[in-house]
Amino acid sequence: MIPQIRPSQFCAWLASVKGHGKPVVLDVREPSELQKAHIKADGFDVVAIPMNMLPLRLDELSVGQPTACLCHHGARSMQMATFLNQQGFSLVVNIAGGIDAWSVEVDSSVPRY
């Protein structure tokens, strides 16, 4: 079972994975969605790999790196978090509610679409 965190819990998750390498938010949305809205990296890296490209670009991520998956509302990112877990990623979570919830709970400057 993949842990789900709300955007409002993201800072607590960052603190909980301290010492395991620099955390990454894996944004699995399409490039056109990234143009509409994106989060600002602060204490973590953001890696954008569209969902359908992730199996081909898996080598851009590190198995031991804490990874939080993000999409528009949380469904695609949950699928990709499950995929990563099956590939041996043990420090992976899904950001429930996606970037839409991020805008509501964390940073209202992130456009909703």
73, 33 in Cβ contact below 8 A?
Answer: no
- Spot the catalytic one: 71, 80, 91, 93: 71
Would residue 71 show up in a list of annotated catalytic residues for this protein? Answer: yes
Burial of 42 from C-beta contacts in 10 A (0-12 / 13-18 / 19+): exposed
How far apart are the C-alpha atoms of 44 and 21, rounded to whole Å? Answer: 10
Give the residue numbers annotated as catalytic, written as ranges.
71
